[in-house]
Amino acid sequence: MKKTLITASALMVAVSGSVMAGTLDTVKERGAVQCGVTSGVPGFSVPDDKGNWKGIDVDMCRALAAAVLGDNTKVKYVPLTAKERFTALVSGEVDVLSRVTTWTQTRDTQLGINFAGVNYYDGQGFLVKKELGLKSVKELDGATVCVQSGTTTELNLSDYFRTHGLSFTPVVFDTNDQAASSFDSGRCDAFTTDLSQAAGLRTRMKDPSSVGALPEVISKEPLGPVVRQGDDQWFNIVKWTHNAMLNAEELGLTSANVDAKKAESKDPNVKRLLGLDGPKGKGLGLADDWAYQIVKQVGNYGESYERNLGSGSPLGLERGLNALWNQGGLQYGPPMR
Amino acid sequence: MKYETQPTLPAPASTIGLVGWARKHLFSGPVNSIATLLIGYLLITLLTPSIQWLFIDSDWVGSSRDACTSGGACWVFISNRLDQFFYGFYPEAEYWRLNLAFVLLLASIIWLIMPQTPKKGLMAIFLLLVYPVIAFFLLYGNSFGLEQVETHLWGGLSLTLVLAGVGIVASLPLGILLALGRQSEMPIVRSVCVIFIEIWRGVPLITVLFMASVMLPLFFPEGMSFDKLLRALIGITLFQSAYMAEVIRGGLQAISKGQYEAADALGLGYWQKMILIIMPQALKLMIPGIVNTFIALFKDTSLVLIIGLFDILAIGQAANQDPDWIGYSNESYIFVALMFWIFCFSMSRYSMHLEKKLHTGHSNR
Amino acid sequence: MSSDISNSGNTPQDNVPKGQLPPESKPKFWNDPRKRSLLFQILLLCGIGMVFYTIINNTLTNLDQRGITTGFDFISEKAGFGISMSLVEFTAESTYGWVFVIGLLNTILVAVLGIIGATILGFILGVARLSDNWLISKFSAVYIETFRNIPLLLQIFFWYFAVLRALPQPRQSIEFLGTFLNNRGFITPAPVAGEGFGLVVIALIVGILASWLTVRWAHKRQDESGKQFPILWTCVGLVVGLPLLAFFAAGMPISLDHPELKGFNFRGGLTIIPELIALWLALTIYTAAFIGETVRAGILAVSHGQTEAASALGLSKGRVLRFIVIPQAMRVIIPPLTSQYLNLTKNSSLATAIGYPDLVNVFAGTTLNQTGQAIEVIAMTMALYLTLSLLTSLFMNWYNAKMQLSER
């Protein structure tokens, strides 16, 4: 009955801790990580037909829950539009924004948010219909281009065409889904977005084989998890959750072999990562086996990538820039010691 | 001489029956005849293919788009997603909760509008005060042994009804206060109410919804956050209360001055006068107006799709994006339109019926 | 009846014997309605002040704590994105302030076009609804009952996604008299003003001025002498004929810029984007249903006796309509009509759902996303709509006042 009264009086108003309590305490008290995701970008965050969220951004949230609460299912997903995402984060509606968000100076410094790393290095590209026989973006002079509004993509598009002396007509939509389907139905000659998202959206088109990407990549789009400014502890947790996943891949730890390695490995790096030695979880305010839980329950970065974006997914994207640093990519986890 | 009443001759064949009716109503002059023929031709050319597409050539049973072979409407698309259109993403095992809430609502509304049923006042109080609480616990759960269902899983027609229902019930008390305030003799109270009403009536609902979804969180102290649905409901309620206030003001003005004076003369205080004398009479007169604003609100709830809530129209839009079913957007638009139309049309008929009833009541006085 | 009660209400005081004051002549201050209302109002003001103070305080604290940039500096910053349709020059170099202007102009454009369309269609529907012809009046009734009971947003989606999307690609355009229709919009030749076109404009202005003077003079003469003057034809001659004359005199200084298919799209000509077409169609069709009902109610409100009296005076059917029915019906029609116009303007904000670059789309949408300054952007947008509706209310009050004056 008491529970009933609390529910009735609170009436869906979630009071998530006071000013003094950090995000970590709030999350522990609540027993769930509130994670801001997209309303559906294949490979990054998308609900399947049973309503389970899947994707590399979703894995980030699950890893956080595993590290903080020891259970990767304790995540509450909040789908957000591009417009709402930053307000939702700074107002405390979500604890972390893991939602294909590009790291830019303005966002990092003026919106009261911090980027906690890059979990996907992306770039902006163009999709066109193959029947037009286009070879380069430079041939798109005078074209109509579908694009999502309020994104860095929109600004890059306009910059690129202007600097190359090309004219174009933008047609903007609130969601990438709408922009893609408008391109598909012929409202535009080209559709521009981050290449990884383009690959995902292409699979949803009427005839995916009739659509191809142009070779140019016109921008840098480092996508990563975002947290509120002013809570360094939580910022560190998110940052090191990502780093732990990278280091786990570098050390060859996977969800399948982590138990065996924990028992037998003599490698000091492995021991430190799994919390048998070294800094453990003290500095972060987490349990000592926080990184073990991540690897055990979610897997390392490579596993997450292959499952959601790589060969194990319908998108089939190459690792490319997102390979580890020692394999020719940019993903570089600082040492855990 | 013998006078005999001749049997009355039937009216000329050209003025009775179908022919007569047609002559009178369709072909009463050259201009009218041409217009009739033109519109008739237009209707036939438009309606025949439509009916063909909608009913005759359409496919009704099946489980995938392969079932749609006859070239007409593909209603399989709709029937496969019927659950989503009605319940959104609500867990299937818990559908009975939505059904129960809906049946309760329907039963109490029927009770209210049937002329013979007794205790209408009690029923109205139940519907306005008790029912929302019951519905909240049924839908949201998390108590009485019911599993909690997060609001982001709510959707479809049930969400549309929740939005419109809460909007109207919550805006009623606020609207009454604003209307009374607008008629008050206290200058500050009056101007505050006028400003409030005019501000909300002057801006489009979409900006109010934007405000509710992106600004509201900044208005509250840190650590206090609202559910997305609740934010939308706050926006809708504030917006709607301004319209409600104007309807109620209309009702208050329709009460003759003698009633106010008589109440004053009896020595009743302001609130006694309003609650015991004016409101019971005025509320009755306001019902058609309230129903009309409800219709407008019901249609306006479709705007929540712009802030990312899945009402019935948003479910339709999402269904149109499904790669397995591309090319059947007409069917989903027609289905959603039909749903809205059934609700709005029946409500508007009811309000017209009431208006007529109330109107005769007045002129007899 | 009421006087009885007020008399009986006085009796307690009458019972007090003369020369003896009642025990307490001054009521307690909370029983004095004037003081009580004063107190209540002060409390109300304090309450509202508190609410506002809390909200503003919270907001400022929140913004400050989270390091969010505030202020209106962003208005003069470069926007850096493109807009698909603008009535005046817009480049990626333009500022956010200019984006606001572009959005406002686009909102006004679609609102004006919608008002024109909805008024014409609405009046036709309203009159048709009262037609003797069964088919016509039923047709109009079905139209009204169908379209006003379906949400506008759904209608916009229908026209945009279901109808206009189904049009052919630019290369397979539907061609009609030099205009083209495809899924990129409706493309027509654009008139380009050549040298000497100023003369035509001047002629038009002169024509309008002259006809205004003529009307005044004719009215005065009719008042004085009862003689009528063919105002209509004179005015048509002045307003249309004079510019036409000037047009030919200047050597027809208008050339047509014909659209041509080059590369991806048509170049030249005037392109009306499908977003505008869909929005305009939906706004027109939806609002016309409401206007139709308004017009019908207005005509029905003119009492039958008026029409009969006019016929009895020997006025022809056309004149009855023109001089008796319409002026009286308009008095009933105009107030609800203005509120329909206002609704249409506010409803045009649904443009954002299909990407027509109106104020809400480019300013409360794109600009908000790019700058992240939600409070300033939403406040500016709301203030603008509020101004529009206040202006309409002012016009309404002025109109009502004018109408009352003309009553005798």
Chain A partners (3+ C-beta pairs within 8 A): B, C
> Measured between CB atoms, which of C5, C136, C368 is closest to B262?
C5
The number of angstroms, rounded, from the C-alpha of A318 to the middle of its chain's C-alpha atoms is 17
Kindly state whether C142 is in contact with chain B, defined as any CB-CB distance less than 8 angstroms.
Answer: no
Contact A110 C68 (CB under 8 A): yes
What is the pTM for the complete model shown?
Answer: 0.84
Contact C169 A186 (CB under 8 A): yes
For chain A, percent of residues with pLDDT exceeding 70: 93
CB A41 within 8 A of CB A268: no
Categorize the per-residue pLDDT at C111 as very low, low, confident or very high, splitting at 50, 70 and 90. Answer: very high
What separation in angstroms does the CA of C394 have from each of A105, A273, B68, C109, C397?
A: 46, 72, 57, 21, 5
**Average per-residue pLDDT in chain B?**
84
Six-digit token string for C386: 């509020």
| Residue given tokens 């609650």 in the structure block | B275
Contact A144 C265 (CB under 8 A): yes
Give contacts of A106 with chain C, Cβ < 8 Å.
372
> Measured between CB atoms, which of B153, B227, B327 is closest to A14?
B227
**Average per-residue pLDDT in chain C?**
82
Other CB atoms within 10 A of residue B115 CB: 6
**What pLDDT was estimated at residue C383?**
93
* Vertex A59 angle, CA A56 and A60, to 5°: 95
Determine the residue among C55, C63, C64, C66 to mutate to test chain A binding: the one whose Cβ has the most chain A Cβ atoms within 10 Å. Answer: C66
**What pLDDT was estimated at residue C27?**
64
Strands C174-176 and C190-193, sheet pairing: unpaired
Contact C41 B187 (CB under 8 A): yes
pLDDT tens-digit series, residues A187-230: 889 999 998 888 888 887 888 888 988 988 999 999 999 998 88
Q: Per-residue pLDDT for A59 more than 70?
A: yes
Determine the residue among C382, C388, C391, C396 to mutate to test chain B binding: the one whose Cβ has the most chain B Cβ atoms within 10 Å. Answer: C382
**What pLDDT was estimated at residue C315?**
86
CB B108 within 8 A of CB B141: no
**What pLDDT was estimated at residue A242?**
95
Q: Which positions ≥6 away from B149 have C-beta within 8 Å? A: B90, B91, B94, B97, B139, B140, B141
**What pLDDT was estimated at residue C30?**
66
Q: Cα(C38)–Cα(B187) distance, rounded to whole angstroms?
A: 10
Q: Which positions ≥6 away from C195 have C-beta within 8 Å? A: C253
> Measured between CB atoms, which of C267, C275, C369 is closest to A150?
C369
Categorize the per-residue pLDDT at C211 as very low, low, confident or very high, splitting at 50, 70 and 90. Answer: confident
**A116: nearest Cα among A10, A19, A242:** A242
Determine the residue among B84, B143, B237, B329 to mutate to test chain A binding: the one whose Cβ has the most chain A Cβ atoms within 10 Å. Answer: B143
**Average per-residue pLDDT in chain A?**
86
Give contacts of B226 with chain A, Cβ < 8 Å.
12-14, 93
Q: Per-residue pLDDT for B364 more than 60?
A: no
Amino acid at A283: G
Contact A4 B137 (CB under 8 A): yes
Strand-pair partners of C288: none
Residue B224's SS3 state is: strand
**What pLDDT was estimated at residue B159?**
92
Residue A191's SS3 state is: strand
Q: Cα(C123)–Cα(C125) distance, rounded to whole angstroms?
A: 5
Q: Which stretches of A96-226 are DSSP H helices?
A: 105-110, 152-163, 176-184, 195-202
Q: Per-residue pLDDT for A5 more than 80?
A: no
> Measured between CB atoms, which of C154, C352, C378 is closest to B333?
C154
**What pLDDT was estimated at residue A21?**
61
Chain C partners (3+ C-beta pairs within 8 A): A, B
Contact C183 A187 (CB under 8 A): yes
> Measured between CB atoms, which of B189, B210, B329 is closest to C162?
B329
What separation in angstroms does the CA of A264 have from each of A257, A267, B273, C243, C393?
A: 11, 9, 86, 97, 81
**What pLDDT was estimated at residue A49?**
64
What separation in angstroms does the CA of C335 have from each of A27, A198, A296, B137, C398?
A: 56, 51, 70, 44, 11
**What pLDDT was estimated at residue C25?**
60
Categorize the per-residue pLDDT at C113 as very low, low, confident or very high, splitting at 50, 70 and 90. Answer: very high
**B214: nearest Cα among B226, B202, B201, B198:** B226
* Vertex C365 angle, CA C363 and C367, to 5°: 50
How close C392 gets to chain B, by Cα (Å)?
10
**What pLDDT was estimated at residue A9?**
42
Strands C260-262 and C265-267, sheet pairing: antiparallel
For chain A, the straight-line distance linking the first and the last C-alpha, in angstroms and rounded, comes to: 50
Contact C82 A187 (CB under 8 A): no
pLDDT tens-digit series, residues B173-193: 999 999 999 888 888 888 999
Strand-pair partners of A79: A37
pLDDT tens-digit series, residues B251-282: 888 888 888 889 889 988 888 888 888 888 88
CB A215 within 8 A of CB A102: no
**What pLDDT was estimated at residue A18?**
38
Contact A83 B226 (CB under 8 A): no
Q: Tell me the backbone φ, ψ of residue C273, rounded to 5 degrees.
A: -70, 150
DSSP A312: T
CB A119 within 8 A of CB A56: yes
Q: Cα(A251)–Cα(C182) distance, rounded to whole angstroms?
A: 58
Please report, to the nearest 10 degrees, the dihedral formed by the alpha carbons of residues C318, C322, C323, C325 taken in order.
Answer: 100
Region label for A320, one of left (φ > 0), alpha (ψ between -120 and 50) or beta (otherwise): left
Give contacts of A192 with chain C, Cβ < 8 Å.
none
Other CB atoms within 10 A of residue C150 CB: 24
**What pLDDT was estimated at residue C403?**
67
CB C348 within 8 A of CB C359: no
Six-digit token string for C15: 């019972």
Q: Cα(A35)–Cα(C70) distance, rounded to whole angstroms?
A: 26
Give contacts of C361 with chain B, Cβ < 8 Å.
none
Kindly state whether B130 is in contact with chain A, defined as any CB-CB distance less than 8 angstroms.
Answer: no
Q: Which one is predicted more confidently, A35 or A1?
A: A35
How many beta-carbon contacts under 8 Å exist across B and C? 156
Q: Which one is predicted more confidently, B287 or A246?
A: A246
Q: Per-residue pLDDT for A67 more than 90?
A: yes
Q: Cα(C63)–Cα(A90) distance, rounded to whole angstroms?
A: 9
Q: Tell me the backbone φ, ψ of residue B88, rounded to 5 degrees.
A: 65, -135
**What pLDDT was estimated at residue C3?**
41
> Measured between CB atoms, which of A3, A4, A15 is closest to B223?
A15
Contact A83 B150 (CB under 8 A): no
Q: Cα(A162)–Cα(A141) distance, rounded to whole angstroms?
A: 11
Contact A110 C372 (CB under 8 A): yes
Burial class (CB within 10 angstroms; exposed 0-12, middle 13-18, buried 19+) of C56: exposed
Residue A121's SS3 state is: strand
Amino acid at B328: Y
Give contacts of B219 with chain C, Cβ < 8 Å.
55, 58-59
Six-digit token string for A254: 């996977």
Give contacts of A189 with chain C, Cβ < 8 Å.
264-265
Query: Per-residue DSSP letters for C229-287?
Result: --HHHHHHIIIIIHHHHHHHHTT--EEEE--EEETTEEESSEEE-HHHHHHHHHHHHHH
Contact C66 A151 (CB under 8 A): no
Strand-pair partners of B103: none
Give contacts of C360 with chain B, Cβ < 8 Å.
204, 206-207, 210
Amino acid at A72: N
Determine the residue among A81, A84, A111, A113 to mutate to test chain B binding: the one whose Cβ has the most chain B Cβ atoms within 10 Å. Answer: A84
Categorize the per-residue pLDDT at B15 as very low, low, confident or very high, splitting at 50, 70 and 90. Answer: confident
**B237: nearest Cα among B227, B226, B225, B229:** B229
CB A73 within 8 A of CB A4: no
Give contacts of C372 with chain A, Cβ < 8 Å.
86, 106-107, 110-111
Kindly state whether C46 is in contact with chain B, defined as any CB-CB distance less than 8 angstroms.
Answer: no
**A151: nearest Cα among B306, C82, C360:** C82
CB C115 within 8 A of CB C344: yes
Q: Tell me the backbone φ, ψ of residue C203, rounded to 5 degrees.
A: -60, -40
**Average pLDDT for B146-157:** 82
Six-digit token string for B351: 């309000």
Determine the residue among B157, B341, B343, B350 to mutate to test chain C binding: the one whose Cβ has the most chain C Cβ atoms within 10 Å. Answer: B341
CB C119 within 8 A of CB C107: no
Contact C353 B305 (CB under 8 A): yes
What separation in angstroms does the CA of A73 have from each of A242, A297, B141?
A: 17, 9, 21
Q: Provide the greatest CA pair distance for chain A.
A: 69
Region label for C196, one of left (φ > 0), alpha (ψ between -120 and 50) or beta (otherwise): left
Categorize the per-residue pLDDT at C365 as very low, low, confident or very high, splitting at 50, 70 and 90. Answer: confident
pLDDT tens-digit series, residues C120-151: 999 999 988 888 788 888 999 999 999 999 99
Q: Which positions ≥6 away from C271 have C-beta within 8 Å? A: C184, C185, C186, C187, C259, C265
Least confident of B216-230, C40-54, C328-342: B216-230
Determine the residue among C124, C135, C392 to mutate to test chain B binding: the one whose Cβ has the most chain B Cβ atoms within 10 Å. Answer: C135
What separation in angstroms does the CA of A12 have from each of B151, B171, B210, B347?
A: 9, 19, 20, 31
Amino acid at B110: I
Q: Which one is predicted more confidently, A228 or C21?
A: A228
Packed helices C134-147 and C96-129: angle between N→C axes, nearest 10 degrees: 150
Q: Which positions ≥6 away from B264 have C-beta within 8 Å? A: B273
Convert B271-296 to b/e letters by CB count within 10 Å (16 or more is b). Answer: eebbeebbbeebbebbbbbbbbbbbb
**A48: nearest Cα among A74, A77, A80:** A77
Q: Cα(C170)–Cα(A186) distance, rounded to whole angstroms?
A: 9
Strands A143-148 and A168-173, sheet pairing: parallel
Q: Provide the greatest CA pair distance for chain B.
A: 109
CB C192 within 8 A of CB C256: yes
Q: What is the ipTM of this complex?
A: 0.86
